[in-house]
Structure 1
Amino acid sequence: MSPIGTATAPGPGDLRAVLFDMDGTLVETEQYWGEAMFELAAALGGRMSPGARAATVGSSMRRSMAILHADLGVVRTEEQLLADARWVEERTAQLMAGGISWCPGARELLTEVRAAGLRAAVVTTTPRRVAEFVLATIRADLGGDPFDVTVCGDEVPARKPDPAPYRRAMAALDVGPGECVVIEDSQSGIAAGLAAGAAVLGVPNVQDVAPAARLTLRKSLVDVDVPVLAGLLAPVGADRPE
Structure 2
Amino acid sequence: MLVKMVYWVKNSESDFGCFCRKWLKKIINPQVPVIPFLHHALFSLHILLVNLIADFLRIMYFTPLFKSQIKGSKSNLYLYSGMPLLLGNLEITLGKDVRMSGITTFCGRACSTTKNQLIIGDNVDIGWQNSISVGTKVIIENDVRLAGKVFLAGYPGHPIDSVDRAAGKPDLDEQVGDIVIKQGAWLGTGVTVLAGVTIGCGTIIGAGSVVTKDIPDNCIAAGNPARVVKSIK
Q: Which has the larger Rg? A: 2
Band the TM-score falls in, shorter-chain normalisation? under 0.3
Q: Normalization by structure 2: what TM-score? A: 0.21
